[in-house]
Structure 1
């Protein structure tokens, strides 16, 4: 899309944005980078259009991209995970970084439960067996959730929604979150090792940082309750994927439901594709009809607020 006016430019690292968000950005020229923009694509567009803001939907924003956008004042994530933005580089350049916190919480928590239930009830596997002509009524036993323990690593907007549903299922809910000062009624805050040891289902809802990258490694899985289920709708980098494959193969874990991966798109071929007790989805937990609108509006609102703050500081 070519700039056709002298309006300041907002660059979107995707091919579209919700109409409601576009309405909020009416005084800007919105430029799209395409469905799967490369770093070179984004750099070229930054040099051409000199955006004042970037909305990050796909891909990463690093120092090279920032330096190509000489007028850049704010990088706004279309969602809550800002690990795809080089925050140190942005800080060095005085560029604000914002996230649409909570905008996709309902969507991600619902997808978390889709994966938990699919793992506990072996839904994909039973469907495949039925299509092959099998009737496994006499041999199959699913995991009943009532009375089991759900362990949540992270107790933000998404984790709290997942906890609420767990309580409704009659589960014991424990959580680890070093930043949580209190837990919702019915949820017990515990140490991380205790969570691993006690939980029948472990679900990840924390941001990815340098400090917790590959926190779930061989040692961590060895501390899990044998036969536990792992669900990750957070960030793939939290898990050592080789260690997870080993834990699934050995029976240390019953199954896993994964919506995010260390490298995205997930490389093909990938060992997970050959493991029958892992359920895969392509990082779409936060992609729903309502979340698409909420994340777009949140990203746009953050741009407007950051630019207004920048203007006040410059006055």
Structure 2
């Protein structure tokens, strides 16, 4: 029986059932690139479903039968796509499967920053009642700049519009632009936004999209939200901007290095609301991503159209 390598300890039972014609091999939750290479060499899978770990050219070479790498999610930056292309191995992603989950998480981070939820909660648990000194922001009437109008960015934009916000966006590749969204260039987005929310993939061209120079061009008191990829932000520049009060607060779910190492300055700095890259981790998205990843892998193996 042909094998499929799952770079995780589990996927949704419904996805497992869909792959019943194959023997499934699991790497566990924290596979190293070397672990994945060794399992590829041992089992020679025809497909991979990727949740954790980095998929390198060495792993592909260790599995000469490999035809498809299917991401359990939308981001494929942990897969060497150039190496896959050289070896005629398809790389597919579960685009949109986690869109609702991530958009909701991004908006939760925005609300937490605007309403100072984390600090107020901590003070309440410490026994303080500071109503007289509390002040927060209302979102209605303010401008949110959305970078990336994919499935997640469009859902986030809809939520923002529902809160009465003006929504502007930058996405040179946008194919669907909702009527409540105004497309602008990046310069205008940085200058006009009270909130900037990142929803784009990480590429060579947008590494450190938010840096000392671009943050300086933003409004004083801007809120930054990132549920995309940590490499989009120069973390030292953001730390400096928060400390200087130029950025009011930052709600972050992704980081330059993951897992975040102990002692990272964000951990002790007021003005940061942090979560460990869990925007897509909901029971609903877990099922949806597993099913999409399974369907996409099976479609490539059967040479059928991918999941829409």
Report the TM-score, using the length of structure 1 for normalisation.
Answer: 0.95
Structure 2: runs of 5+ lacking an equivalent: none
CA distance in structure 2 between the aligned counterparts of 1:19 and 1:263, rounded to whole angstroms: 31
Alignment deviations for residues 47-100 of structure 1 (CA, whole Å, 9 cap, x no partner): 111011111101111111111112111000000001111110000011000000
Corresponding residue to 2:6 among 7, 12, 16: 12
Residues 15 and 181 (structure 1), Cα distance of their counterparts in 2 relative to 1, 3 Å cut:
closer
Q: Which runs of 5+ in 1 are unaligned?
A: 1-6, 311-315
Q: Is the 8 A contact 2:37 2:59 kept in 1?
A: yes
Aligned counterpart, 1:4 = none
2:202 is the alignment partner of 1:208: yes
Q: How far did residue 185 of structure 1 move? A: 1.3
- 2:268 — aligned with what? 274
Counterpart residue number, 1:76: 70
Query: Which of 154, 163, 169 lines up with 1:169 in the alignment?
Result: 163
Task: State the Cα distance separating 1:149 from its structure 2 match.
Answer: 0.5
Q: TM-score, normalised by structure 2?
A: 0.97
Aligned pairs (5 A) from 1:95-106: 95-106=89-100
RMSD over equivalenced CA pairs, Å: 1.0
Deviates more, 1:111-120 or 1:301-310: 301-310
Q: 1:92 to 1:23 in 2, by over 3 A?
A: same
The Cα shift of 1:134 comes to 1.6
Q: CA deviation at 1:181?
A: 4.1
Q: Structure 1 residue 140: deviation in Å?
A: 1.1
C-alpha distance in 2 between matches for 1:89 and 1:286: 27
Q: Give the deviation of 1:39 after TM superposition.
A: 1.2
* Consecutive aligned runs of 4 or more in structure 1 exceeding 6 Å deviation: none
- 1:131-150 matches, cutoff 5 A: 131-150=125-144
- Structure 1 residue 182: deviation in Å? 4.8
